[in-house]
């Protein structure tokens, strides 16, 4: 695992002044944030947050953005989504530490129809390619914790061994944490890349979930 002494250098700028459109719930022993679209789609996405936690306003903003595109969004468990949200199709998205978890989950649980790993640190192991369903990987060119050499190695292994759809996108000039950076922290040069990455995330979910 790359640079474990710095587990989450997420460059997300200051916290958003954002209360969220959803609500907090207790799912067995887990506290979670749930936000829903205005109509029932039968779909859901689990978001696994970065090291700053599920209460970070920036993470809730991303959750609400995904929900606004037709998905029930919850940082919780499959059981809750199926029983309480009546979700029939489920995807998963994760940022940084959560991106690592998404990579792991997509190799273990076929219940997830699609996954998006956003600057997830690449595991130092032989098996990083046994994906069960389509997975999108988003990386930053100037990420201090994920060297491009590791991205290249992941690309090679997936190209050689992976049997499902996948995509790896590396965004020029960007740093760790760029996708959930708040709007006022975006420079004119960075904003197109941030918007594109968010759009790619939603399009991947629309295509496969």
- Tens digit of pLDDT for each residue in 92-147? 999 988 898 899 889 988 999 999 999 998 876 668 889 999 999 999 999 998 99
Give the pLDDT of residue 149: 93
The model carries a pTM of: 0.79
**Residues 177-204: what's their mean pLDDT?**
85
56 or 156, higher pLDDT: 156
Please report which residue ranges of 26-162 form alpha helices under DSSP H.
Answer: 57-67, 78-84, 97-108, 148-161
Residues 6+ apart with CB under 8 A from 3: 144, 145
Domain that holds residue 173: 40-208
List 10, 75, 103, 176, catalytic entry: 176
Say how far apart CA 31 and CA 125 lie, in whole Å: 32
In a domain, 133, yes or no: yes
Give the pLDDT of residue 3: 33
In a domain, 111, yes or no: yes
Indicate whether 185 pLDDT > 90.
Answer: no
CA quadruple 141, 143, 149, 155: dihedral sign: negative
Say how far apart CA 80 and CA 157 lie, in whole Å: 34
- Number of folded domains that form the chain: 1
Active site residue 143: yes
121 or 60, higher pLDDT: 121
Half-sphere exposure of 61 (CA within 13 A, CB side): 14
Q: Please state, in angstroms and as integers, the Cα–Cα distance from residue 89 to each residue in 50, 97, 98, following that order.
A: 24, 24, 20
Indicate whether 183 pLDDT > 70.
Answer: no
Active site residue 64: no
In a domain, 198, yes or no: yes
Give the pLDDT of residue 177: 87
List 75, 96, 103, 180, catalytic entry: 96
In a domain, 18, yes or no: no
**Which phi and psi angles does 35 have, rounded to 5°?**
-135, 140
Question: What is the CATH classification number for the domain harbouring 116?
Answer: 3.40.50.1820
201 or 6, higher pLDDT: 201
pLDDT in tens, 193-205: 999 999 999 999 9
Give the pLDDT of residue 184: 56
In a domain, 6, yes or no: no
Half-sphere exposure of 198 (CA within 13 A, CB side): 23
List 10, 75, 143, 180, catalytic entry: 143
56 or 164, higher pLDDT: 164
Active site residue 96: yes
In a domain, 12, yes or no: no
Q: Between 191-208 and 57-67, two packed helices, what is the crossing angle to 10 degrees?
A: 50
In a domain, 71, yes or no: yes
Percentage, residues of the chain above pLDDT 70? 79
In a domain, 19, yes or no: no
């Amino acid at each position: 695992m790359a640079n474990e002494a710095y587990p989450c250098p997420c460059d997300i700028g200051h916290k958003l002044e954002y209360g969220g459109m959803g609500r907090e719930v207790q799912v067995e022993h887990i506290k979670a944030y749930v936000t829903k679209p205005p109509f029932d789609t039968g779909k859901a996405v689990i978001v696994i947050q970065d090291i700053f936690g599920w209460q970070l306003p920036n993470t809730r903003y991303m959750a609400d953005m995904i929900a606004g595109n037709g998905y029930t969004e919850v940082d919780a468990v499959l059981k809750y989504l199926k029983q309480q949200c009546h979700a029939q199709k489920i995807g998963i998205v994760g940022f940084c530490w959560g991106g690592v978890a998404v990579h792991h989950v997509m190799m273990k649980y076929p219940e997830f129809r699609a996954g998006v790993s956003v600057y997830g640190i690449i595991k130092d192991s032989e098996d990083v390619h046994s994906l069960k369903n389509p997975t999108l990987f988003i990386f930053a060119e100037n990420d201090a914790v994920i060297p491009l050499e590791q991205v290249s190695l992941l690309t090679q292994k997936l190209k050689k061994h992976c049997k499902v759809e996948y995509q790896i996108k590396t965004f020029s000039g960007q740093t760790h944490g760029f996708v959930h950076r708040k709007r006022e922290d975006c420079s004119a040069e960075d904003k197109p890349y941030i918007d594109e990455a968010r759009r790619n995330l939603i399009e991947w979910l629309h295509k496969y979930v």
